Amino acid sequence: MKSRDTIFTHEELITEIRRQIKEVGTQREFAALVGISLNTLSKVLRGKEPPGHQLMTHLGVETVTCYRRKFYNPHPQY
C-alpha cells in the first residue's frame, strides 16, 4: 500500500483488494482472513456495497470525505 497521506480512488482500492486476494489464494480464503462473508466481499468487488469496517481495518485505510469547487470564480456573486 501507499503512504499514509495517499488518497485512493474507489477503483484503486478495489485493485488493492484484488491484489491481496491473489496473494492469499482465493476470495473465500481472503474473506475468512478478514472476517467477512464471501457474499459481502463479492458485493464490494462488484461495487454493490461499500467496503465495511472489517475490510477497511484490514487494508489499513479510512474513509475521508472532501469537497472541492467545480470551477474557480475569482469574482463570486453572493
Contact present, 56 and 50 (Cβ < 8 Å):
no
Q: What are the CA-CA distances from residue 40 to residues 11, 25, 27, 43, 70 (Å)?
A: 17, 17, 11, 5, 34
Q: Where are the domains of the chain?
A: 10-59
Helices of type H across the chain: 10-24, 27-34, 38-45, 53-59
Q: Which three cell numbers stand for residue 15?
A: 485493485
Q: Using CA atoms, how far apart are residues 15 and 75, in angstroms rounded to an integer? A: 41
Please tell me the predicted confidence (pLDDT) of residue 2. 56
Q: What is the pLDDT of residues 2-44, one digit of tens each?
A: 566 788 889 999 999 999 999 999 999 999 999 999 999 999 9
**pTM for the predicted model, two decimal places:** 0.78
